[in-house]
Amino acid sequence: MAMMGMGGASKTWAPHTDSDAYELVTPALQAQQSDVLRFYADISSGYLNVEYRRSTDAAWTYDNTYIVADSLFFIAPYTGIYQFRFTGSSVSVDDFIGFRLPAPDVALYEGRDDDNAKVFEENKGKRVNVTYDRVLSAQSQGYGSWTPMAYTICLPYEFRVSSLVAPGTVKLYQLSYIDQYYRQFIFTDVADVAEAGLPYLAVVERDSVSLNAYNVEMLAEPADGTDARTAVYDYEDMYFNELQTKVGEWLGTFRSIPSTEADNQQMYCVREDGTWACFQSGSEETPSNLDAFRGYFLVTASETGARSQAPRVPGEDVFKTIFQPSNSTSVDALESVVFHGDIPMTTTTGIESYSIQTIDADGATRYFDLQGRLLNDKPVKGLYIKDNKKVFDR
pLDDT for residue 363: 47
SS (H, E, C) 39-68: EEEEEEEEEEEEEEEECCCCCCEEEEEECC
Burial, 29: exposed, middle or buried (Cβ in 10 Å; 0-12, 13-18, 19+)? buried
**Count of alpha carbons within 13 angstroms of residue 342, beta-carbon side:** 32
DSSP state of 292: S
Q: How far apart are CA 238 and CA 177, in angstroms?
A: 9
Pairwise CA distance, residues 348 & 343, whole Å: 14
**Collapsing DSSP states into helix, strand and coil, what is residue 217?**
strand
Please tell me the pTM assigned to this model: 0.65
Cβ atoms < 10 Å from Cβ of 394:
4
Task: Give me the pLDDT at residue 3, please.
Answer: 32
Q: What is the pLDDT along the chain (394 residues), one digit of tens a residue?
A: 333 333 345 566 666 554 567 889 998 898 888 899 999 999 988 899 999 999 888 899 999 999 999 999 999 998 888 999 999 988 889 888 888 888 889 999 999 999 999 999 999 999 998 999 999 988 888 888 888 888 889 999 999 988 788 888 898 988 888 887 777 788 888 878 999 999 998 888 889 999 999 889 999 999 998 999 999 998 888 878 888 889 999 999 999 888 777 666 778 877 666 667 777 655 444 446 788 999 988 888 544 333 333 443 334 455 666 555 444 333 232 333 333 344 333 333 222 333 333 334 344 555 544 444 455 566 555 554 444 444 555 4
Which residues are CB-contacts of 71 (< 8 A; sequence separation ≥ 6)?
38, 39, 40
So what's the pLDDT on residue 355? 36
Which of 53-91 are b and which e, b meaning 16 or more Cβ less than 10 Å from the residue's Cβ?
ebeeeeebeeeeebeeeeebebebebbbbbbbbbbbeeb
* CB burial of residue 375 (10 Å; 0-12, 13-18, 19+): middle
**pLDDT at residue 21, rounded to an integer:** 78
Helix (H, G, I), strand (E, B) or coil at 333: helix
Name the pairing type of β-strands 105-108 and 61-66: unpaired
In angstroms, the CA 13 to CA 29 distance is: 13
* DSSP per-residue string spanning 220-281: SS---TTSGGGEEEEHHHHHHH----EEEEEEEESS-B-HHHHTTS-EEEE-TTS-EEE---
The rounded distance, in Å, linking the Cα atoms of 334 and 362 is 15
CB atoms near residue 52 (< 10 Å): 19
Q: What is the pLDDT, as a whole number, of residue 288?
A: 62
Closest CA to 318 of 276, 273, 356: 276
Query: Roughly how many angstroms between the first and final C-alpha of the chain, as a whole number?
Result: 69
